[in-house]
Chain A
Amino acid sequence: MSTPLLEVKNLSVSFDVSRPWLNRKLEGQDKVLLKAVNDVSFSINKGETFAIVGESGSGKSTIARLIVGLLKPSSGDVFFEGKSLSAGLEGAEARKLRRRFQMIFQDPFASLNPRWHVADIVAEPLRVFKTETGKQRREKVGELLSLVGLSPEDGAKFPHQFSGGQRQRIAIARALAANPDFIVCDEPTSALDVSVQAQILNLMKDLQDKLGLTYLFISHDLSVVRHMADRIGVLYLGRMAEIADAKSLFVDRQHPYTRMLLDAVPDLGMTGKPRKPVEGEIPSPLDPPSGCVFNPRCPLANARCRTERPELRLYGPTWAACHAVEEGRDKAA
């Protein structure tokens, strides 16, 4: 395999969530660190869609923000075409790299400046990267708006004159303006109506085919992920539980957490298969369980799971971090 477009290696980040210094000293407390992302590694090949799924609070959005440089990792690094991103996000080199990745946000009501005309919003990357100027820039904005299914005349309006789905189209147009290779999509459809979701997802797929884009797709919605992703990483409490091809994940899941998630998906085929609800809640990342972080909710947990942390290992086509899978306990159950 050639070098992946994006490679994430042992990425970790902690947030300082302690009380203010004076309160801490007066009440004799220690610093409190929240490990939001813990030793996560994966790679994304050119032209594919890599999805990260997980419950609320599992660290999905944090990974997205780390990759685009909004947050600095505590340890580990992100490589874009083999170049380290954390080493130097300054200067001309960084400018060139930044042009190549963009982000689409979850909330289309917050991701567009309400005081700017749509044309200015879409043109911002063109202005920042000084690719087109004057008349060319206006033409390019018109092209981009038509590309995402809006009309070039919409550029004269303000974001509040559009619906959620249309705004997400504007956000996509802005992301495309920089002519990127790689787009981080942080739950791009979770704020939209179901009917509009499909339109936006199909638009994103079409654009991927047309422009050869690579997506990192973050979602909690398994049906959306199934529609979009080539490969899927299942995130649990800041750790990767399983990384697999989309096909094999839905057919032959390894990790008990993945099974739990998939068993909870409503069965539209009406096959009469009993549906198991997801049990328990994600524990607080302030005080994660010892050993495997999933052990308090895992039906297969034993003493080893409570003390020893499992590593990601390859089982057939799938990477999973689970002692039960390693020992074959899952097949027996």
Chain B
Amino acid sequence: MSASAPPGRRPMGLFSRIIDSDIFYSFRTSPVAVVAASIALILILAAVFAPWIAPYNPFDPRTLNLMDGYTAPMETSFAGNYFLLGADHQGRDVFSTILYGSRVSLLVGLSATLFAMTLGVSLGLIAGYRGGFTDAIIMRICDIQLTFPAILIALLIFGVARGLIPPSQQESTALYVLILAIGLSNWAQFARTVRGATMVERQKDYVAAARIMGVHPLFILVRHILPNVTGPVLVIATIGLALAIIEEATLSFLGVGVPPTQPSLGTLIRIGQQFLFSGEWWILFFPALTLVLLALSVNLLGDWLRDALNPRLRK
């Protein structure tokens, strides 16, 4: 009873497979997901192409004119420069600083999430597969870490790193330290989820079949089990990205994040809140709005992805 493939079920190209998939259908039919994805995509593209989009380079002191300071949105300054979203106290274009700022925010958020994901998924796989003592050690570290707020752990790691790195290099390494701090404060979520999923997969017969053949445990973990636990990881990574962006903004707002020469959205908000009560609301408002839009859209995407990947919620 050889099963010759009916013409409709031929193996398709990657693109048509995506268009044809359940996930894409669920995406198309969910207005929230489409809007959130569009906003996130616009913000990400704007950040990536900031040098080409931004009308000014806000970090080149030669182009700054203090006479432009405090120009309101959509107004032309005394010096004859037009500012779509106004200018801050140093005469920097708020629109341009937001573009460059979200660049830093996204870079830190993405790298930190990627780092947390790599660390958490590896440890979760090992804990779930080995079980026993290894599992107990890794999971207790996870538990302890989860009892502290992530921001506190990030602050702690940041402080320790500051103490270890000589002051002359602090400015140049600040970005990496920030990524490390946020990444290390977020890995536990990944480890927990992956461990649970790994324990389920480990019991299945396809793993037993590989073990009988004497396949190396590392190969079983990476090629057999990992592809079967990526669904939940994707969801946590998306929601984790939103969290990491907010965490970075919080750290920068507290003044321990990126150096002032490379302001992120959090830094911009910190600068802006000094002028809120003197009436220059736009210096605070537009960076804050961007941060909210970015975090919200990524978060909504994560929510949608969780529902779309959950077969029990599928209509």
- In this assembly, does A278 line the interface, its C-beta being within 8 Å of a C-beta of chain B? no
Verify A98–B2 contact, CB threshold 8 A: no
Verify A111–B205 contact, CB threshold 8 A: yes
- In this assembly, does A15 line the interface, its C-beta being within 8 Å of a C-beta of chain B? no
Also in contact, A98 and B212, with CB within 8 A (given A151-B3, A153-B5, A157-B11)? yes
Q: Which of A199-226 contact B (CB under 8 A)?
A: 199
- In this assembly, does B35 line the interface, its C-beta being within 8 Å of a C-beta of chain A? no
Complex Cα gap A120–B246 (Å): 43
- In this assembly, does A266 line the interface, its C-beta being within 8 Å of a C-beta of chain B? no
Chain A residue numbers with a CB within 8 Å of B204 are 110-111
Also in contact, A110 and B205, with CB within 8 A (given A95-B214, A128-B213)? yes
Q: Which of B216-253 contact A (CB under 8 A)?
A: 224, 227-228
Complex Cα gap A195–B227 (Å): 34
Complex Cα gap A101–B214 (Å): 11
Complex Cα gap A150–B9 (Å): 16
Also in contact, A70 and B228, with CB within 8 A (given A128-B213, A128-B215, A149-B2)? no
Report A194 CB to chain B, min CB distance, Å.
16
Verify B2–A151 contact, CB threshold 8 A: yes
- How does the 8 Å CB contact mask read for B1-39 relative to A, with 1 for contact and 0 for none? 111110001010000000000000000000000000000
Verify B4–A105 contact, CB threshold 8 A: no
Report A130 CB to chain B, min CB distance, Å.
12
- In this assembly, does B208 line the interface, its C-beta being within 8 Å of a C-beta of chain A? yes
- In this assembly, does B313 line the interface, its C-beta being within 8 Å of a C-beta of chain A? no
Complex Cα gap A146–B2 (Å): 8
- In this assembly, does A55 line the interface, its C-beta being within 8 Å of a C-beta of chain B? no
Also in contact, A98 and B5, with CB within 8 A (given A110-B204, A113-B224, A156-B11)? no
Verify A151–B212 contact, CB threshold 8 A: no
Minimum CB distance partner of B228 in chain A = A115
Complex Cα gap A310–B209 (Å): 37
Chain B residue numbers with a CB within 8 Å of A151 are 2-4
Minimum CB distance partner of B210 in chain A = A124
Report B90 CB to chain A, min CB distance, Å.
54
Chain B residue numbers with a CB within 8 Å of A150 are 2-3
| Total contacting residues, chain B, CB less than 8 A | 21
Verify B3–A70 contact, CB threshold 8 A: no
- In this assembly, does B206 line the interface, its C-beta being within 8 Å of a C-beta of chain A? yes
B213 CB contact (under 8 Å) in A106, A114, A116, A178: A178
Verify B3–A166 contact, CB threshold 8 A: yes
Verify A153–B4 contact, CB threshold 8 A: yes
Chain B residue numbers with a CB within 8 Å of A110 are 204-206
Chain B residue numbers with a CB within 8 Å of A70 are 208, 211-212
Complex Cα gap A105–B209 (Å): 8
Complex Cα gap A112–B2 (Å): 19
- In this assembly, does A68 line the interface, its C-beta being within 8 Å of a C-beta of chain B? yes
Chain B residue numbers with a CB within 8 Å of A129 are 213
Report B40 CB to chain A, min CB distance, Å.
28
Complex Cα gap A114–B207 (Å): 12
Minimum CB distance partner of B215 in chain A = A128
Verify B2–A113 contact, CB threshold 8 A: no
Verify A113–B211 contact, CB threshold 8 A: no
- In this assembly, does A107 line the interface, its C-beta being within 8 Å of a C-beta of chain B? yes
Complex Cα gap A285–B22 (Å): 47
Report B12 CB to chain A, min CB distance, Å.
11
Residue contacts A-B, CB under 8 angstroms, 20 given = A95-B214, A98-B214, A105-B205, A107-B205, A110-B206, A111-B208, A113-B227, A113-B228, A116-B227, A124-B213, A128-B213, A128-B214, A128-B215, A149-B2, A150-B3, A153-B4, A157-B5, A162-B3, A174-B209, A199-B1
Closest 9 A/B residue pairs (Cβ): A111-B205, A115-B227, A105-B205, A151-B2, A113-B206, A110-B204, A110-B205, A128-B213, A68-B212
- Excluding A103-B209, A115-B227, 17 further A-B contacts by CB distance (< 8 Å) are A68-B212, A69-B211, A98-B214, A105-B209, A110-B205, A110-B206, A111-B206, A111-B209, A114-B228, A121-B206, A124-B210, A125-B213, A150-B3, A153-B5, A154-B3, A154-B5, A174-B209
